[in-house]
Amino acid sequence: MRHLISYASICGLCIGLVTLGCSRTEKKGDGKQGADNSKQHSNDVGFLWKATSGTNTVYLFGSMHAVKKEYYPLPAAVDDAFTQSKTLVVELDPNKLKPEVAAKLLMAHGMYPPGQTLSGSLSKKSMELLKAHCDAKGLKVQALNQFRPWAVMLTLVGQELAGLGYGEEFGHEKYFAAKAVKAEKPVLELETADMQIRLLADLSPEIQETYLSKTVAEMRKTKESLAAITAAWKAGDAKAMEQAMLASYREHPEFRPLMEKIFDERNVKMVERIEGFLKEKDSYFVIVGAGHLVGEKGILNLLEEKKHKVVQVRAPK
């Protein structure tokens, strides 16, 4: 569940496209969140590292895709690193993905064709678990019947996050994308929306069902999970972040295909791009989900294995 909290906003625009009788107004980021809380997070470390080569510096910022407004401002070291960088790099540029494009992707990959339904595809046990959750939340399970398990999973996680006050409109990507526009910095993308949606859409029906059932079963732990992830992020604690987000999935063989697709394979490709940046002369500020940085197969370790110098950036004492 802890990883889902971060991953849910990968397809954040798609989450809002599935109507369950609840709605929220999205606020466009302006890079000024939390201006009245200037001292609130002054002691936070933040999840920031830098990789260096003989010619360049690449800052690596581990983001939380969905946060609360009061989590701003960010630690000064994070904003300073962005200011010093010439180019912003994100998984997806939130300013470029249009709702109509997200809608088309959802229909193409997240909905069953005529004649197929969620209730007809899931096992009786999984369907009963889903119905019980929807009943408890005042949602109509019938509204989900056209959607595949991965789309239902993202929708339910999005609803849970919104109910706790977390929103992708305050996510770190939107915050820095808005700052980049204001500062006229170029923004590069590591991936495309189609690539990210296919991460889940291309999983086997069996894995999708297992993932959905685990999500629903552990939904009650969302608040606790968010607290652990947030504490690790604020402390800049990579080991605690790995434990909070990845450990429970790494320990179960049935989730190996999921971890390989969502993390391991993508991390390798991201490192290839980062190595390209390190060969250039203009500094980069790279934002990826915090879970991508940590662990044996995380970006930080992969860069170190390739003999790049990687150090954590902390505010001066």
Check pLDDT > 90 for residue 106. Answer: no
DSSP 67: B
Distance CA 158, CA 168 (A): 9
Per-residue confidence (pLDDT) for residue 32, from 0 to 100: 54
Mean pLDDT to the nearest integer, 150-158: 91
Distance CA 59, CA 286 (A): 6
Do residues 160 and 211 touch, judged by C-beta distance below 8 A?
A: no
pTM: 0.86
Write b or e for each residue in 298-307: b if 16 or more Cβ atoms lie within 10 A of its Cβ, otherwise e.
Answer: bbbbbbeeee
Per-residue confidence (pLDDT) for residue 99, from 0 to 100: 80
Check pLDDT > 90 for residue 148. Answer: yes
Mean pLDDT (the chain, rounded): 85
Question: What's the pLDDT tens digit per position in 62-104?
Answer: 998 878 888 889 999 999 999 999 999 999 998 888 888 878 8
For residue 218, what are the contacts with CB-CB under 8 A and spacing of at least 6? 1, 225
Per-residue confidence (pLDDT) for residue 3, from 0 to 100: 39
> Read out DSSP for 111-173?
BPPTT--HHHHS-HHHHHHHHHHHHHHT--GGGGTTB-HHHHHHHHHHHHHHHTT-BGGGSHH
Distance CA 45, CA 78 (A): 9
